[in-house]
Structure 1
Amino acid sequence: MRILILGKGGREHAIGKKLLKDFSPMEIYFYPGNGGTNQIGNNLEKNYSTMELCFFAKKKAIDITIVGSENFLLDGIVNVFQNYGLKIMGPHYEAAKLEGDRVFSKTFMIKYGVRTPKYKVFSSYQESLDYLKKTTYSVAIKTNGLAEGKGVHLVKNKKEAKKALNSIMIEKKFGKSGDKVIIEDFLEGQECSILSILNGKNITPFLSVKDYKKIGENEKGKNTGGMGSIAPNPYMTNEIWLDFKENILKPTLEGLFAEKLMFFGFIYFGLMITSNKIYLLEYNTRMGDPETQTLLPLMNSNFIHMIQSSFLYKEISISWKKLCSCCVVLSSGGYPDKYKTGKVIEGINSLNEPFYISGANNKKEKWITSGGRVLNVVGLGNTIDEARKKAYNEVKKVKFEDFYFRKDIGL
């Protein structure tokens, strides 16, 4: 079997490791990949356009392509692959807008009764500012387009609001993604992520995850791509699960069919659990990072069989280990802003599984940092506390200049 995985982070390394564990022999290609993926498969070294990736998949007789990173989706890669008769796990262009275009996504939620916070859309800096003057300033300001998980600003006063709007709309920190902003009611509660697999007719949810998005401990500071996560999410009670299925999952499925947006792939629900209700904050139309790294070590089911079943419209049931998981992300100092790469990493070769390379390359038998998020270390245990202790014991083995990690993941 030949698989192509698109992306370069810890998520893609985790997907590759799980596939190899479940199915052998398997030949895996990664584009562009990282130092970890190159040890379990073959990284495609040169730059490829969408069409060139398609021709590569045809030439190599790739059985299934899995889109890990969102950056490929809004280029319409799924449409191209499907037009050439290639199996690919991911949404077609219109469905990818559920992640890549927040205005489109919010309109979809409202139309189909998916419970979500109230919001307003603005394309003018001044109109945004004028609107905020009429509010209590306790809002979430979001870029309309993709921003690598960093396009959400939670503001509580005028100074923070002006700074966020200036960054998005004037300085254009996120490029065209900031041409429009969404100003959304701020909800007090606990964040929750639920990844799911789609088989063209149904959505099968995975275990719930709690993600830690802020760079600082106690959820302080700037948003990142994710500094760690735990599973299962302790705030996801049976009552909240039922609420999620009734008020978010069910109307989402109805909307996907009604709008002809159903696909073969993954959908991620970014949620907020308040005192008695659950709200949908966003969709992602792929697997999350670092949620994937947290969940896959808990999955008993054969992952490639699940993926194959989805293309056949078969019912999917997932078996999970009766364990908890804690993932800690090690990053370069300065992330998510400016950071330096090229630092030698010590201790990777002494780590116990599971761990995943995110932003590092292997050169002359040395591990060298190449990104903001460098390494994902995972601990498993009978409780969250046991899992986090194991994860942090592994973290102690790793060292590189100016590295950083949060010490409160799972607390």
Structure 2
Amino acid sequence: MRILVVGGGGREHAIIKKLKENKSVEVIYALPGNGGIARDAVCVPIGATDIAKITEFAVENKIDYAVVAPDDPLVLGAVDALEAKGIPCFGPRANAAIIEGSKVFSKNLMKKYGIPTAEYEVFNDMDSALNYLETAPIPTVIKADGLALGKGVIIAQTRQEAMDAVKSMMADKVFGKSGEHIVIEEFLTGPEVSVLSFTDGKVVKPMVSSMDHKRAGDHDTGLNTGGMGTVAPNPYYTGEIADRCMKEIFLPTIQAMNAEGRTFKGCLYFGLMLTPKGPKVIEYNCRFGDPETQVVLPLLESDLLTVMQATTNGTLADTEVRFSDKNACCVIKASEGYPVSYKKGFPLTMTEEAEKHTFVAGAKLDENGTLVTSGGRVTGTTAVADTLDVAIREAYRLSDGVHFENAYRRSDIGQRALQALN
């Protein structure tokens, strides 16, 4: 089979490495891929949002199956365009990807169908939002409606911070059109859990739960990032809570989307908060999360391509989705200064052992064919072990085998999970 994977980060590298395990896979093309992915796939310099060129490439190269991994091309209709040319895809069509593409849509969907989430108000003009904030409970959460590279959510601890956030989104347009409409919502408390799930629009088969570490610094200090590391499974997510989420959140979401004529197929990501009043949805993503994918897919024992095709074909109920009962930890190595400003272009080297366990996100091949850093989050190194403490220790040991100048990592990935277990 000839496979195409749209995207070029650590998530895509994890997907590609897993797809390669299927013996029927003859070649994988990554559009655009990156310097590290080039060791596992044929990278083609076509941007992930250039739908016309992606479609043209897929037709010319007789692609048998396409995986659209990032949010932008999904929301822009990459799956619709590829399917129109007869190429089966993993991922939702644009009318279903709106569940991530618009916070206003997803909040209104949850309210309409009784899916537990934070109380909220939607605003289309700045003055009414600022008036509302004069009496709103603090802390509060301000969200840009559209996609904002995972940075469109601000947790405001003071009234002034909340007002500044509204002004930056609606007046200064820091997120462009994404901030034209905003959601102001209740601040929830409790442990956070990420649950990725496979769905064909009829059944939901959740993957192993995970715990992300969003802040740049140790002990959850510093700015929010795209994620500095993950562990799986998340110890707060018990079997009892999983059953409750399936009944109150997962299936009702799929049924709600069907009722709206927006059948969702692919990977639906549930960002959950386990509040004192029960699990609630913080956010939906219409695709694999990153770095969660880098810790969850190494635990998948079933064949990924077979599962993906079942979501496309509507046969997921008859397809085994089996995960190992082991533990996994992923440690991200980033460029010093991320997520604000950082230097790039440093040679990236790995020991042979580290490379086997590492997914490359921010690196490219320079004109001499040398792998050099090109982004904020550079690599994710994942270890799998029988117990969480061993997985954490092993992930750090393997991460020591990844070398580039100005490398930075958190030293406490998984510590919160260990405390929960103890």
- Scaled by the length of structure 1, what TM-score is found? 0.95
Quote the offset at 1:162 in angstroms.
Answer: 3.1
Q: Aligned-pair distance for 1:20?
A: 0.6
Q: Where in structure 2 are the equivalents of 1:45-194 lying within 5 Å?
A: 45-47=45-47, 49-194=50-195
Query: Which residue in 2 is equivalent to 1:374?
Result: 378
Instruction: Please state if 1:30 is matched with 2:30.
Output: yes
Q: CA deviation at 1:349?
A: 4.5
Q: Could you tell me which of 332, 336, 339 is aligned with 2:339?
A: 336
User: 2:419 aligns to what?
Assistant: none
Q: Output the amino acid matched with 1:378.
A: T
CA contact (8 A) 2:230 2:329 kept: yes
Name the amino acid aligned to 1:147.
A
Q: Give the CA deviation at 1:244.
A: 0.5
By how many angstroms is 1:312 displaced? 2.8
Q: For 2:70 and 2:351, how far apart are their aligned partners in 1?
A: 24
Match of 1:320 in 2: 323
Other structure's SS at 1:207 match:
coil
Do structure 1's residue 43 and structure 2's residue 43 form an aligned pair?
yes
- Which amino acid counterpart does residue 16 of structure 1 have in structure 2? I
Alignment match, 2:400: 396
CA contact (8 A) 1:74 1:97 kept: yes
What is the CA distance between 1:3 and its match in structure 2?
A: 0.6
Matched-pair contact (CA < 8 Å) for 1:271–1:278: yes
1:278 is matched by which residue type in structure 2? Answer: P
CA contact (8 A) 1:200 1:311 kept: no
Alignment partner, residue 201 of structure 1: 202
Deviation at 1:276, TM superposition (A): 5.0
Aligned-partner SS, 1:330: strand
Partner of 2:147, secondary structure, is coil
Q: 1:358 aligns with which of 350, 356, 361?
A: 361
1:383 aligns with 2:390: no
In the TM superposition, residue 42 of structure 1 has moved relative to its aligned partner by 0.8
8 Å contact kept, 2:216–2:339: yes
Amino acid at match of 2:338: Y
Give the residue type in structure 1 aligned to 2:341: K
CA contact (8 A) 1:149 1:223 kept: no
Correspondence for 1:405 among 397, 404, 409: 409
2:420 maps to none
* 3-state SS of paired residue (1:161): helix
Q: 1:238 to 1:268 in 2, by over 3 A?
A: same
Give, in whole Å, the separation in 1 of the partners of 2:25 and 2:91.
24
Q: Residue 46 of structure 1: CA displacement?
A: 4.5
Q: CA deviation at 1:128?
A: 2.0
Q: Which residue of 1 aligns with 2:303?
A: 302
3-state SS of paired residue (1:154): strand
Query: How much is the aligned-residue C-alpha RMSD, in angstroms?
Result: 1.7
Task: Report the residue type matching 1:187 in the other structure.
Answer: L
Structure 1 regions of 5+ residues with no counterpart?
Answer: none
Aligned mates of 1:163, 1:214 — CA distance in 2 = 21
Residue 216 of structure 1, CA deviation: 2.3
Question: 1: CA distance between counterparts of 2:44 and 2:278?
Answer: 45
1:236 matched to 2:237? The reply is yes
SS of equivalent to 2:161 = helix
Verify the 8 A CA contact 1:204 1:317 in the aligned structure 2. Answer: no
Equivalent residue for 2:253? 252
The offset of 1:215, in angstroms, is 1.7
Q: Secondary structure at the match of 1:262?
A: coil
CA contact (8 A) 1:153 1:223 kept: no
Relative to structure 1, is the Cα distance of residues 219 and 124 closer, same or farther in structure 2, using a 3 angstrom cutoff? farther
Determine if contact 2:204/2:251 at 8 Å carries over to the other structure. no
Partner Cα separation in structure 1 for residue 351 and residue 372 of structure 2: 11
Helix, strand or coil: the match of 1:317?
A: coil
* Alpha-carbon shift at residue 279 of structure 1 (Å): 0.4
Which consecutive aligned stretches of 4+ in structure 1 deviate over 6 angstroms post-superposition?
Answer: none
Stretch deviating more after TM superposition (377-386 or 4-13)? 377-386
The alpha carbon displacement at 1:345 in A equals 2.4
